[in-house]
Chains A and B, each alone.
Chain A
């Protein structure tokens, strides 16, 4: 991904917006932030985006109303709803209106990052069918990974973990964040520490046996980091 990805952020909570913008910029996204529907509509008319992050409860209305405008302008813009409302009917409504993904607050940045990247990959398939990083080549569609052009046999969980690490390279990922990523819903809480440890251990072992550089580093025992020089 050489070109920078343009992201439109529509969020009225300023502190959250500031952090999100900083995070997106650090991860090589171009980010435009708007805090109301009115301002966002103007922006959508004038510019084109790869992805849009929409908050639902905005001061002048519901972020859902923006989905149609965005998709009308450019079908390939990925829309991710970021909402505090974890209600099934809200999700269904958003997806029916054309949203591509739904993220519930509070979320973790690495998760947001992984989702934007996966979404952009999905919507621009012809360019980005594979991810190449030094000796690693990943095919997300087929869940296949090559090290030095040789297939490494990974389980689906190990593969998604590796993809998550690559999406969030050079960042400290705490056990909490990885645990949340591995478990699907909130009542998995407090259940995943051991699983995270096991999966990462297995992933590291498999990569090492294929002579892959040891990218995944332990950070002070609080988490892990996928380190690429």
Chain B
């Protein structure tokens, strides 16, 4: 719910409640005022009557609005509302009852005053007042809405700038200066945060580069020394073999280092150049690269390309993604030696025959998880695929029955 909607709703519900309770209270209080006014009139009539009453003319006062009844004792005078049926209509009257003692006889005299006119008046006054209040609230409502909207505009500008803020474009975050204290405070906090993040990001990038540089050079030194040693004529066979292992291991170390740097780069959103291309085309190109390996391992590849799916992403990352999956399917292929690849419903599906995993299947996308039998695998190719999929919000899933199946669901 938007802030403006919420505040409007609160305003409206409070106003409705206020109108309801307010008009009821107002109706009754105005009515009380008018009743007391009527009481005054009745009292005056009573005084007039009392002045005119004489022993022989009591009954004569009996009329439409004066009732005279003989009673046995004194009653205190009192006001009340009463309803009289006139021409089959209920008509509301205000009434005063009092007793009068004359010629040894008590009379109860009731004087009536119609309330119809005052009732209409009360209603009119109440309606007018409520109407005025309603107009007042309406104006208040729109003024309030306008001012909240104005304030929110600055807020939305800040948000949209934050949305466009990208650490990889080298531009810094510049927020508008605001007059309102709260917005000003918010902008300054965000500004500070963005600056810190940017600094950290730069440091991290620098760190990644440094790691790369600082590790690769010593590795180059080791490689060169091992290669030199290897050329000596007087080495025994075991020494030669150890040197070969040393070179192999150094190479492996260097590959791990490069792979980690690559993963960090993906996670740091270093690759942001996007273009649109066909997954089918990409797959064909990558399969061509593996033609020899596929032939050599005698693997049967079945393609089932139902759709032509286009994706928008960094070309290099797309190639890496498909390449790693195909490579994985080839290098861990065993048994009946088959690979099935299909593209359908915006999905890329690749499955291969192979041995059962020697580790839990939910670990398959983790870094450095690999089967114990394949010593040459770095165990990082699939986590690279995972990182790339995460970057583009593609869904990557794995399932295992007779085949190992990976599915990428493109967005």
Contact = CB atoms under 8 A, between A and B. Distances in A.
Interface string B285-301: 00000001100110000
A19 B224 contact: yes
Interface in A84-105: 84-88, 104-105
B323 A191 contact: no
The CB with the most chain A CB atoms within 10 A, among B209, B227, B374, B376, is that of B227
Contact of B216 (A106, A177, A219): A106
Interface in A165-218: 171-172, 174-177, 180, 186-191, 193-195, 198
Interface in B190-236: 209, 212-217, 219-225, 227-228, 230-231
How big is the A interface, by class? 35 or more
Interface in B99-153: none
Given A19-B228, A85-B209, A195-B296, A189 B220 contact: no
Interface in A101-127: 104-110
Interface residues of B, number: 50
B186 interface: no
Interface string B3-16: 00000000000000
A97 B113 CA distance: 110
A187 B254 CA distance: 11
Contacts of B212: 84-86
B376 A189 contact: yes
A223 B230 CA distance: 10
B259 A187 contact: yes
B316 to A, nearest CB: 8
Interface stretch (B50-58, B86-94, B160-168, B239-247): B239-247
B237 interface: yes
A26 B254 CA distance: 26
Given A16-B221, A195-B296, A198-B296, A23 B228 contact: yes
B376 A84 contact: no
A105 B378 contact: no
A22 B381 CA distance: 37
Interface in B359-389: 374, 376-378, 381, 384
A109 B296 contact: no
A172 B231 contact: yes
Given A221-B241, A222-B240, 16 more contacts: A13-B220, A23-B224, A26-B231, A86-B216, A104-B216, A106-B223, A107-B223, A109-B223, A109-B224, A172-B230, A174-B230, A174-B243, A177-B247, A190-B374, A220-B241, A222-B244
Interface of B: 209, 212-217, 219-225, 227-228, 230-231, 237, 240-241, 243-244, 247-248, 250-252, 254-255, 258-259, 261-262, 292-293, 296-297, 316, 320, 323-324, 327, 331, 374, 376-378, 381, 384
